[in-house]
Amino acid sequence: MSFKRGDEKMIVGYTSGVYDLFHIGHLNLLKNAKSLCDKLIVGVTSDELVSYKNKKSVINHQERMEIVRSIKHVDVVIPQNDMDKFKMWERLKFDVMFVGDDWLDTPKWKELDEKFKEVGVKIVYFPYTQGTSSTLINETLKNLRGTN
């Protein structure tokens, strides 16, 4: 995916996530990502891919895509049907990838960082928003309903 502004190449950013039970952490990541690129592409994880973690999203894939598509910081929304971020780069040719710093220094992301450096892609790790997550919201709802 190539974007141009006149003769100038635009910086294309990419991030992905489940975006279930959309919350301030999601918004912070998308807003911060957009501030560092001209075009922001967001991959929304499919319901099938969510199940790899033995989890199930509360909001279905199509609705999560529509929610993310409606965020003013997002330029393009695509389904994420594969965990392989490098395959996504081969398809989209983004310049920078954004991810939460909860992945920083994990073996998987150290390896990805090296692979992306070879093709000139920078990974930017944003601080994880403390105090909120879809997992925490789900746990709170279970507790409120007494369904532990």
- Condensed to tens digits (0 to 9), the pLDDT of residues 95-106 reads 999 998 888 888
Confidence at 79, pLDDT banded by 50, 70, 90:
very high
Among candidate residues 100, 90, 79, the one with its CA nearest the CA of residue 121: 90
Instruction: Output the average pLDDT for the chain.
Output: 86
Q: Residue 147: pLDDT above 60? A: no
Catalytic residue among 4, 9, 53, 72: 53
Among candidate residues 19, 25, 22, the one with its CA nearest the CA of residue 43: 19
Architecture of domain 9-145: 3-Layer(aba) Sandwich (3.40)
Cβ–Cβ under 8 Å, residues 117 and 145: no
Provide the whole-model pTM: 0.83
Q: 45 versus 23: which is more confidently predicted?
A: 45
Q: Among this protein's residues, is 55 annotated catalytic?
A: yes
The Cα–Cα gap between 109 and 99 comes to 10
Catalytic residue among 9, 55, 108, 117: 55
Paired sense of beta strands 76-80 and 39-45, if any: parallel
Q: Among this protein's residues, is 53 annotated catalytic?
A: yes
Tell me what pLDDT residue 105 has: 85
Tell me what pLDDT residue 50 has: 87
Cβ–Cβ under 8 Å, residues 3 and 39: yes
